[in-house]
């Protein structure tokens, strides 16, 4: 069975691969991949939040709070 990835999914995979190379992470197990992906997500969310202006931060927080229900 072949999996078809969307353009957005392929972009995320490429960004993750670049992040792994940039950080010099070794992927030898599922645990390594889970760690790398977790770090990638944390890094991107942190970068977005701290580079955002106050309106973007408020909007970001509002959306997060709405999704926590």
- Please say whether the beta carbons of 13 and 5 come within 8 A: yes
Instruction: Specify the number of domains making up the chain.
Output: 1
For residue 55, what are the domain limits? Answer: 26-69
* 57 in any annotated domain: yes
pTM of the model: 0.66
At residue 16, the pLDDT reads 93
* 34 in any annotated domain: yes
Tokens representing 35? 């760690």
Range from 22-26, 35-39, 57-61 carrying the lowest mean pLDDT: 57-61
Evaluate if residue 69 carries a pLDDT over 80: no
Q: Tokens 């760690």: give the residue.
A: 35
Evaluate if residue 37 carries a pLDDT over 90: yes
Q: How confident is the model at residue 23 (pLDDT cuts 50, 70, 90)?
A: very high
**3 state DSSP class of 52:** coil
């Amino acid at each position: 069975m072949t999996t078809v990835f969307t353009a957005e999914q392929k972009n995320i995979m490429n960004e993750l691969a670049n992040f792994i190379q940039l950080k010099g992470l070794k992927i030898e197990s599922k645990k390594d991949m889970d760690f790398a992906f977790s770090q990638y997500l944390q890094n991107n969310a942190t970068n977005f939040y701290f580079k955002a202006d106050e309106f973007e931060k408020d909007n970001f927080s509002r959306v997060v709070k709405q999704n926590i229900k």
